[in-house]
Amino acid sequence: MTQCGEGAEAPVVLRVRNVSKEYRLYASPRERLKALISGRARHRSHWALRDVSFELRRGQCIGVIGDNGAGKSSLLKLLAGTMQPSAGTLERAGRVTAILELGAGFHPDFSGRDNLYFGGSLIGIDHEEMARLEPEIAVFSELGEALDRPVKTYSSGMTVRLAFALVTAVQPDVLIIDEALAVGDQHFQKKCVDRIMAFREKGCTILFCSHSSYHIRYLCDQAIWLKDGRVEEMGPTEAVMGAYELHSRLRAQRHHKDAEQPLALPGDGDEGVAESPGAGARMPLSADGQGASLVSVSIASLGQGELPLLESEDLVVTFVARGRGDECPNFGYMIEQSKGSGITSLATHEEGGRPVRLSDGTWRIVLTFPDLPLHSGEYVVSAYLFDESGLVLYDAWLHYQRFRFVSPTLMPGLVRLPHTWT
C-alpha cells in the first residue's frame, strides 16, 4: 500500500493518526436522559471511522471515495474541526477552510451582508479583514441589492453563491471540498472551478470528496478509498480508482439479477435522469434550459428498431451542441457493453479535438472509429458536454443509444486489439 505523500519533500500540512469516530445511538430521548442521570451506558455504538491514518503535504490534491455510509462525511467534518474524534489525533498547519454544507451556518433573519461578518468570524476572519474582503465577495456572489436582504428570502442558489464566496474569500493552506462542483448553475459552477484551480496552482492542499470518478481523476494525484469506516486503499489516483470501481461493479452485479438491466458506471449516479425525446436517458444540468447543452448525438448507418444494427464497419458519431457565449465546449463519448462493462471513454480536451462553430451558433464535431474493433454483441453509448477546461460537466446523455454490431471475425472476445504476428 502506498502512503499518501510518501517520499515527498513538501511539508506536512495535515496529519491524521489512528482517528476513530463513534456515534452513540439511543432508542429515544428518554433513554439518553436516563443515561445522563444514571451514568450507565444505554446506547448502541456506531463507529463511522476506525483507525484512519494518512498525511497531506503542501500542494497535494487528494480524492476521497467510498460507498454511501463509508465515513466520508464524518472524516471531512473531523478534518474541518466541526467535530472531534473519539480516538486518535489530528494535526493541522495553517488555515483550514471547508466547503461542506454551504450556508448551513447563516442566520436566516440577518442580511447577506451581516452574515458575511457573522460567518466570517466563525472561520477566523475578523471584522477588519472582512471589511476589506467584502467588496470582492459581493462581486463574486453576484447578489447585487439582495446582499442587504434577509437570507431567509434567498433561493438555495443565492445562498450557495454567498456561502462559497465567503469561505473562499481568503486562500487557505488546506481546502476541504465536499461535492462543491455539483452546486449552482453552469455559470457559477465554472466560477467555483476556476477559483479552486487557482488555489491549487498557488500551492493550496486540497482534499476533494466526490461521487464523480471523472472529477477525482481529473483533479487528484492521490486518492483514499474508505470502506466501512476504514482505509481500504490509499495511493496514486488511478490505482485506487480502479480497485474501487471493480468493487462497485461487483456490488452492482449482485443487485442486478436481470441480465438485461444495464449498470451505471460508478460515480455517474442517476440523479436528475429523465427521458429525453428521441434519445435514451438524458441528464440536463441547466435548470433554466438556457445553458450549454447537447442538441443531437447521431450515429451514421444505424438501422431501425428497438435494438438497431450498425450497418457499417465504421462507427461515425456526429455531435451538435449549444455552448455558453463564445466559449468552445468539449465533447466526451463512452462505449459500454449492454450489461455494463466499460470499453472505452474519450474526450476532445484529452485528445486535442476542436469542434466547428456553425452559422446558427451551435458547435459540431464528428467522432469516427474506423473499422470498429469490437466483436459481435450489444452495446450502449453515452455522450457528454464539458466546458473549455474539460472540468465542468454541462450536459450528459447517459446510455442514450443502444445498438447491435456484427463483427467480420468469428473469434470470441470483446475487442480486437492492435497486434502483429512474427
Q: What value does the mean pLDDT take over residues 91-95?
A: 86
What is d(CA 154, CA 152) in angstroms, rounded to the nearest whole number? 6
Tens digits of per-residue pLDDT, 210-264?
888 888 888 888 999 999 999 999 999 999 998 998 888 777 777 665 544 444 4
Is 107 a member of any domain? yes
Q: What value does the mean pLDDT take over residues 102-121?
A: 85
Same structural domain for residues 231 and 82? yes
Q: Which residue in 174, 173, 169 sits closest to 132, CA to CA?
A: 169
Is 396 a member of any domain? yes
Same structural domain for residues 106 and 182? yes
69 Cβ contact partners less than 8 Å away, ≥ 6 residues apart: none
Of 243-252, 350-359, 375-384, 387-396, the poorest mean pLDDT is in: 243-252
* Helix axes 112-122 and 156-167, enclosed angle (nearest 10): 40
Is 157 a member of any domain? yes
Same structural domain for residues 235 and 288? no
Residue pointed to by grid coordinates 436582504: 149
User: For residue 404, what pLDDT band results from cuts at 50, 70 and 90?
Assistant: very high
Q: Which residue in 281, 374, 388 sits closest to 326, CA to CA?
A: 388
CATH of the domain at 28: 3.40.50.300
Q: Which residue in 96, 93, 94, 71 sits closest to 19, CA to CA?
A: 71
- Out of 245, 263, 291, a domain closes at 245
Is 290 a member of any domain? yes
User: For residue 271, what pLDDT band results from cuts at 50, 70 and 90?
Assistant: very low
Q: What value does the mean pLDDT take over residues 129-140?
A: 93
Is 329 a member of any domain? yes
Is 1 a member of any domain? no
Same structural domain for residues 191 and 42? yes
Which pLDDT score, from 0 to 100, does residue 182 have? Answer: 60
Which pLDDT score, from 0 to 100, does residue 119 have? Answer: 85
pLDDT at 103 over 80: no
Same structural domain for residues 111 and 179? yes
Same structural domain for residues 354 and 397? yes
- Out of 245, 266, 285, a domain closes at 245
Q: What value does the mean pLDDT take over residues 166-177?
A: 87
Same structural domain for residues 202 and 322? no
User: For residue 186, what pLDDT band results from cuts at 50, 70 and 90?
Assistant: confident
Same structural domain for residues 172 and 81? yes
Which pLDDT score, from 0 to 100, does residue 256 have? Answer: 62
Same structural domain for residues 200 and 316? no
Same structural domain for residues 216 and 304? no
User: For residue 123, what pLDDT band results from cuts at 50, 70 and 90?
Assistant: confident
Is 333 a member of any domain? yes
Tens digits of per-residue pLDDT, 53-88?
998 888 899 999 999 889 998 998 899 888 899 999
Taking all residues of the chain, what is their mean pLDDT, rounded to a whole number? 83
pTM for this entry: 0.72
Encode the chain in three state secondary structure. CCCCCCCCCCCEEEEEEEEEEEEEECCCHHHHHHHHHHCCCCCEEEEEEEEEEEEEECCCEEEEECCCCCCHHHHHHHHHCCCCCCEEEEEECCCEEEECCCCCCCCCCCEHHHHHHHHHHHCCCCHHHHHHHHHHHHHHHCCHHHHHCEHHHCCHHHHHHHHHHHHCCCCCCEEEEECHHHCCCHHHHHHHHHHHHHHHHCCCEEEEECCCHHHHHHHCCEEEEEECCEEEEEEEHHHHHHHHHHHHHHHHHHHCCCCCCCCCCCCCCCCCCEECCCCCEEEECCCCCCCCEEEEEEECCECCCCCCEECCCCEEEEEEEECCCCCCCEEEEEEEECCCCEEEEEEHHHHCCCCEECCCCCEEEEEEECCCCECCEEEEEEEEEECCCCCCEEEEEEEEEEEEECCCCCCCCCECCCCCCC
Query: In the chain, how many domains are there?
Result: 2
Tens digits of per-residue pLDDT, 327-354?
999 999 999 987 767 899 999 999 999 9
134 Cβ contact partners less than 8 Å away, ≥ 6 residues apart: 113, 116
Q: What value does the mean pLDDT take over residues 273-287?
A: 43
Asked if residue 123 lies in contact with residue 80, where contact means CB atoms within 8 angstroms, the answer is no
Of 46-50, 182-186, 221-225, the poorest mean pLDDT is in: 182-186
What residues make up the domain containing 130?
12-245
CA distances from residue 100 to 47, 78, 157, 335 in whole angstroms, order as listed = 21, 12, 15, 34
Same structural domain for residues 201 and 289? no
User: For residue 293, what pLDDT band results from cuts at 50, 70 and 90?
Assistant: very high
CATH of the domain at 358: 2.70.50.60
Same structural domain for residues 21 and 86? yes
pLDDT at 142 over 50: yes
User: For residue 180, what pLDDT band results from cuts at 50, 70 and 90?
Assistant: low
At position 20, the amino acid (one-letter code) is: S
Is 410 a member of any domain? no
